Amino acid sequence: MTGEIIIAPSILAADFSRLGQEVAAIDAAGADWIHCDVMDGHFVPNISFGADVLKAIRLTTKKIFDVHLMIAPVDPYLEAFAKAGADVITVHAEAGPHLDRSLQAIRALGKKAGVSLCPATPESAIEYVLDRLDLVLVMTVNPGFGGQSFLESQLEKIARIKSMIGGRPIRLEVDGGITRDNAAAVAAAGADTLVAGSAVFRGESAAEYAANIAAIRTAAEAGRVPKLQDSSAQRMRVSDGGRAR
């Protein structure tokens, strides 16, 4: 699942009065995944939507549904969201006592398994479940509401998690305050999957959404360039017997 930059617009920022049309619009605008933030008013101080809404909008696109469950307890609801059309199901490390069991349950349902960390949660919380994971989601705002400002303190955490992942085929996703202005820094830290809500749903047309998605993607790809250049330079040095050019 790792590799190219993935842009996953969060429909939390969409116009809920025409949610199906909004999903179709970001599909046409070049979204790679559709990010679905599910909030229960208990684990986070907001309520968004449930499995029935997910099932309804599933009919509007064939893109991957990246479902972020900000609910606790979470295990009783995994099957409902799997049946509603989720492709990736992400649960919070903080949402229950048995994270390993939750991840096993997601995979048993035939879905990709992800884990999310709130800003105050250290990366050590996922150290012992890395081999259960297809995705790690780093929250760069405190979860619960869209439109918050990006927490730069999380950049170092992203880099440390990237190092923890190593060669495992795990996507590193970032969610919270992502814009074209910080996408480069996020990608440079190691993220390959960017969730953006307000920064995508500016404007009212698919063309405007497409321009927003493209701007975020271009910035993120530019953020990765220095590392790619460094790797190329290192390969040249090695092939040249270690001599600097």
Of 32, 66, 134, 175, catalytic: 175
Q: How far apart are CA 36 and CA 22, in angstroms?
A: 13
30 SS3 class? coil
C-beta of residue 92 within 8 angstroms of C-beta of residue 118:
yes
CA-angle at 161, arms to 67 and 6, nearest 5°:
45
| Interatomic CA distance for residues 49 and 212, integer angstroms | 25
User: Residues with Cβ < 8 Å from 65, sequence gap 6 or more?
Assistant: 33, 34, 36, 54, 58, 85, 86, 87, 88
175 part of the active site: yes
> Would residue 37 show up in a list of annotated catalytic residues for this protein?
yes
Instruction: Please give the backbone phi and psi of residue 90, each rounded to the nearest 5 degrees, phi first.
Output: -110, 130
Of these residues, 37, 40, 66, 192, which one is catalytic? Answer: 37
Q: Among all residues, which ones are annotated catalytic?
A: 37, 175
